[in-house]
Structure 1
Amino acid sequence: MALQPRSVPVSWLNPRQIEAFRAIMVSGTVTDAAALMGVTQPAVSRMLRDLQATLGLTLFERRGAKLVPTNEGLTVYAEVARSFVGLERIAHVAREVKERRAGVLRIAAMPALMNGFLPRFVGRFLKDKPRMDLSLSGVSSHLVLEHTLSGECDLGFVMGPLAHAGLIAHPMPSAPMVAVLPQHHPLAAKDAIHVTDFDGQDFIAMEPGGLSRMQLDRIMELHNVRPAVRAETRLSGIVCGLVTSGLGVSVCDPFTAHEFTARGLVIRPFTPSVDFEFAAVRSAQKRFPAVGKALLDAFVLHSRAFIAEAPWTQPEPAAAG
């Protein structure tokens, strides 16, 4: 008979039973969960059975020799996972305090910067700071905003200019988007690419809805350019990977494009200019660590130098056609 869901007072929840449930979800079997917890298999089975009785939910279904989580089990696990992340964060902070380390600088950034440009800079910046640890996450801009607002990260980097009551935004130097081409493509013989060069060409596009895609679509419409879109993707790294495969040409941010030059990507200035705009964000309610400010100031200078020195980010006027 199916268990009946029930309202459960917090005092009824047994942390060890919840740990057993998590261990099964993480390891996949009761046997492995028992090894993970350092207890016997019957003990894990009993804790799971008692937890299901307390919650009034069936958390797993048995299919042959396997336990498969039910929809209810997956829903409960999502909350359990969030709770354990918080507990593990507390344990980590406690270790930091005990070891008297300077702390952890937590940074989240959009994938365009995380393809290599930002990690290399941050690694060099922290190399002479042995008492400072780093947490670095590459996620989409909307998740960067969530992490920054919730205090999960100290500093975030997101697409576009930004205004949000809960955040302090620092505009970063804008960088011209660049044309990216496969090796030996006929257009690679040109010193610079005009948008009209893409008319009829096989093209790799960013998915609709993003700022860069909207800007590029507007320019193509203005110049009556109709490329043959072969693929669409949300990530600039995938764009560059597809271009190096020879599937088509595209336009990309210079930070990602730079990471693919050693893999055969050809980069050319692109006109009319389309700016890749991004911003650094931090919480308006949370104290910004001094090392975070120092890193941000240094990264602004580093980004500005990269943009100024890269020849393909400073396009010469290119004639159409």
Structure 2
Amino acid sequence: MHSPAVDPGQLEAFVAVMSAGSITAAARLLQRSQPAVTRAIQELEASLGLALFSRNGPRIAPTEFGVRFHEEAERMLFGLRHLHERAQAIAAGMPRAIEIAAIPALAAGLVPLALARLDPALLPAQVHLQAASAEQVVRAILSRSADLGLASLPVDHPGVEVRWCGRVPCVAALAADDPLAARPQVAIRDLAGRRLVSMANPYRLRRRIDQAL
């Protein structure tokens, strides 16, 4: 059986609605008419055979399927834009762009600063930086959609070569009047028995904190 192809324009309309929160706002972002965006969403839903949004009068909210499908749609659109950019670069004889995937904390801070310190002559005209979870960074390397990945340890996968590049201390965010706030350094034992807000993923830094406690 042949599955019907998904129209990129329909995907773009769906992602815009998810980002903007309404069809009206998405139409402004895309510079399309509101009926055109509505029709694109309806055609995409018909093609998929599932509802992407639940409707209550003029208001819409993503369904559970819509929320889960959104990540895949964004990834596909990113790939299509990358393909178009790469075709233009090939036609112009430009070197291939460098693809970097990094966890959000590094993508928002360390990586841009590091790139800014490099000699522009050493870099291609385009460097693509994508923020992703550590697990997604590993998948990007394995699928070859990224040339370089930066993530927090532990990363242990037989298909990935890991190079250690730096270490920073953990930071405890405390109320200003907390007795521990006056200390220059907080030992892990000082946090024992206290209520903590930590990462949700139990297999990464959260696991190390739990083991230390």
TM-score range, shorter-chain basis?
A: 0.5 to 0.7
TM-score, with length taken from structure 2: 0.64
The answer to whether the Cα contact below 8 Å between 2:4 and 2:47 also exists between their aligned partners in 1 is: no
Deviation for aligned residue 1:132: 3.8
Structure 1 unmatched ranges of 5 or more: 1-6, 218-321
Measured after TM superposition, the shift of residue 91 of structure 1 is: 1.6
In the superposition, the TM-score normalised over structure 1's length comes to 0.47
Q: Is the 8 A contact 1:181 1:187 kept in 2?
A: no
What are the superposed Cα offsets for residues 38-76 of structure 1, whole Å, 9 maximum, x if unpaired? 544334434444444444433333323223333344344
Q: Which has the higher contact order (CA 8 A, sep 6+)?
A: 1
SS of the residue corresponding to residue 151 of structure 2 reads: strand
Note closer, same or farther for the CA distance 1:8–1:43 as it changes in structure 2 (3 Å cut): farther
Are positions 1:158 and 2:151 aligned together? yes
Q: Where does residue 141 of structure 1 map in the other structure?
A: 134
Are positions 1:79 and 2:62 aligned together? no
CA 90–34 in structure 1, closer or farther in 2 if over 3 Å, else same: same
Q: Relative to total residues, which structure has the larger strand share, 1 or 2?
A: 1
- Report the Cα distance in structure 1 between the residues aligned to 2:15 and 2:163, rounded to whole angstroms: 40
Structure number, greater radius of gyration: 1
Correspondent of 1:58 among 40, 51, 54: 51
Q: How many residues align?
A: 205
Contact 1:105/1:132, CA 8 A, preserved across alignment: no
CA distance in 2, matches of 1:130, 1:155: 14
- Within 5 Å, give how 1:212-251 maps onto structure 2: 212-213=208-209, 216-217=212-213
Distance 1:98 1:39 in 2: 30
Cα separation, 2, equivalents of 1:131 and 1:67:
42
Aligned with residue 160 of structure 2, among 164, 167, 172 = 167
State the percentage of identical aligned residues.
28
Aligned residue identity for 1:121: A
Give 3-state SS (helix, strand or coil) of 1:102's partner: coil
Deviation track 1:73-128 (CA, whole Å, cap 9, x = no partner) reads: 43444433332121112122223334433332223344665574443233211444
Where does the alignment leave 5 or more consecutive residues of structure 2 unmatched? none
Q: Match of 1:82, SS? A: helix
For residues 125-173 of structure 1, give each alpha carbon's deviation from its aligned partner in whole angstroms, at most 9, with x where no partner exists: 1444464432334544333222222223211233446542211223446
CA contact (8 A) 2:102 2:137 kept: yes
Partner SS for 2:163: strand
Matching residue of 2:83:
90
Q: 1:128 to 1:215 in 2, by over 3 A?
A: farther
Q: 1:8 to 1:76 in 2, by over 3 A?
A: farther
Say yes or no: does 1:105 pair with 2:98.
yes
C-alpha distance in 2 between matches for 1:181 and 1:29: 36
Counterparts of residues 1-321 of structure 1 (less than 5 Å): 9-10=3-4, 14-110=7-103, 116-129=109-122, 131-160=124-153, 162-172=155-165, 177=169, 187-188=183-184, 198=190, 210=205, 212-213=208-209, 216-217=212-213
Aligned partners of 2:197, 2:69: CA distance in 1, in Å?
Answer: 39
User: C-alpha distance in 1, partners of 2:170/2:19?
Assistant: 43
Distance 1:194 1:165 in 2: 36
Aligned partner of 1:261 in structure 2 is none
